Chains A and B, each alone.
Chain A
Amino acid sequence: MLAQQLLVIAEDGVADSAAMQFALDVGLDARGTTMLRAYAVARVTAIHDLAAAMPEAEDEIELYRTLAAYWLELRFEWQRNNEVMNYQTVLRGSAEPRVIAEGSVGSFMLSRIETLLDPAHLELLAQYALELLANERASAQLKEGVA
């Protein structure tokens, strides 16, 4: 059952260990590490909430659909962190470690969720995310009169 599989990928210790490793990788201090672990826990809790809300077999399609929506949510969150860290990197020479670590946690959670999504469906989701942002860029350029 998908709800049970969700509980496996959202095992608290795995996300927490990953967060602690990312904190070490980027050199976060104790307070930063605590905040990053809370950031990871919040994303794991969202998965627990999904599994708890839709545990029945008859809800499985709805649960899958909502999990796909959560993948998109995390993908766009990762995208935002990616833009912030790389504009910081390019313009200032280095990125804020907190942003890098949060991007890594987001990417880690995306990978966990992807194990439960159909690869063909996942490709469509990624394409959708890509097109949505490309359309936004095109709209913004039109608004600004950029060719």
Chain B
Amino acid sequence: MSFVPDAFVSQLPNVSRSSADGLPFGLVQVDDAGVIQLYNKWESEMAAVPVSSAEGKNFFTQVAPCTNNRLVFGKFKDGVAKGEMDSEFNYTFTYKMKPTNVQIRLLRHAASQTNWVLVGMRAA
């Protein structure tokens, strides 16, 4: 079962910044190249990266370099190329933070052609 409620996924393209900031998980909207369009409060606090520093940078290469590999960025690029992406998997963050076990969900909303990276905590 995903950490992201199905009802939320269907509303994704219309999420406002204020509702994104109220979420109990990380929400990052990126363009097809991975450049951050929206970086919510939870993600900002978890990664200790201010929203103003993150937005406009590439999520995979500049803000979360631990995701710059085939497992995440490669999967993202494949999904964008195919025009469809919905993949959830376990991951471990250590860059500029204490060891943190997370789940990552990569989503492409087909109708709006928007891309989303969602991050939730998981037990070790």
Near A by CB (< 8 A), chain B positions 66-105 give 66, 68-69, 71, 89-92, 94-99
Evaluate contact between A89 and B91: CB separation under 8 angstroms: yes
Q: Could you tell me the distance in whole angstroms from the C-beta of A141 to the nearest C-beta in chain B?
A: 11
Evaluate contact between A103 and B71: CB separation under 8 angstroms: no
Whether A25 is near chain B, meaning CB under 8 Å from some CB there, is yes
Near B by CB (< 8 A), chain A positions 11-62 give 21-22, 25-27
Evaluate contact between A130 and B68: CB separation under 8 angstroms: yes
Evaluate contact between A21 and B69: CB separation under 8 angstroms: no
Known interface pairs A83-B69, A130-B68; A78-B61 also in contact (CB < 8 Å): no
Per the CB 8 Å criterion, the residue count for chain B at the interface is: 18
Contacts of A94 in B (CB 8 A): 90, 124
Q: Could you tell me the distance in whole angstroms from the C-beta of A80 to the nearest C-beta in chain B?
A: 11
Evaluate contact between B95 and A78: CB separation under 8 angstroms: yes
Q: Could you tell me the distance in whole angstroms from the C-beta of A73 to the nearest C-beta in chain B?
A: 16
Known interface pairs A26-B99, A100-B99, A101-B99; A81-B91 also in contact (CB < 8 Å): no
Known interface pairs A27-B124, A130-B61; A95-B92 also in contact (CB < 8 Å): yes
Task: Give A82-97 as 1s and 0s: 1 = Cβ < 8 Å from B's Cβ atoms.
Answer: 1101110110011100
Evaluate contact between A25 and B99: CB separation under 8 angstroms: yes
Per the CB 8 Å criterion, the residue count for chain A at the interface is: 29
CB-based nearest B residue for A111: B96
Whether A126 is near chain B, meaning CB under 8 Å from some CB there, is yes
Near B by CB (< 8 A), chain A positions 91-147 give 93-95, 100-101, 103-104, 106-107, 110-111, 126, 130, 133
Evaluate contact between A82 and B94: CB separation under 8 angstroms: yes
CB-based nearest A residue for B74: A137
Task: Give B34-68 as 1s and 0s: 1 = Cβ < 8 Å from A's Cβ atoms.
Answer: 00000000000000000000000000011001101
Bound-state Cα–Cα, A82 to B89, Å: 16
Evaluate contact between B71 and A87: CB separation under 8 angstroms: yes
Q: Which residues does B use to contact A, with CB under 8 Å?
A: 61-62, 65-66, 68-69, 71, 89-92, 94-99, 124
Q: Which residues does A use to contact B, with CB under 8 Å?
A: 21-22, 25-27, 78-79, 81-83, 85-87, 89-90, 93-95, 100-101, 103-104, 106-107, 110-111, 126, 130, 133
